[in-house]
Structure 1
Amino acid sequence: MTLAAAAPAPNAVTVDDYIRNIRAWIASIRQRTDTRSVWLFGHSEGGLIALATAPGVVDAVAGFVTKRR
């Protein structure tokens, strides 16, 4: 799944679109690599979106890395 598939209009992308996209990527990575969990990295708004993604995939996320500056 790509973000284009999640939200065909680039200017209409919402936080929920990003969350659905990240969750799909997590599922794909876990399936392809046979791993139990992944780390999420985010800077600024990306960190917020990574944290917002977690509640739906708690068992699939090992942790978070955020960058303050």
Structure 2
Amino acid sequence: MPALCPECENLVVVDADAVEEGDLLECDECGAELEIVSLEPLKVVLMDGLGYDDPEELSFADEVE
């Protein structure tokens, strides 16, 4: 399941069977720390050291052009 990094807009591939809501990912392109906030549909948010850097949730796959 693909997701867009909100920092660099790189596609990050996520195995939906291997992750849960609340899991953290790292973008392979820019190294940004991302938190999965929803699996159906897949949504992630950019994290900073104190929590959410940008509260806007981003969804992926079907919205990627």
TM-score range relative to shorter protein: under 0.3
Q: Which has the higher helix share?
A: 1
**Whose radius of gyration is greater, 1 or 2?**
1
Instruction: State the TM-score, normalizing by the size of structure 1.
Output: 0.25
- Which structure has more strand as a fraction of its residues? 2
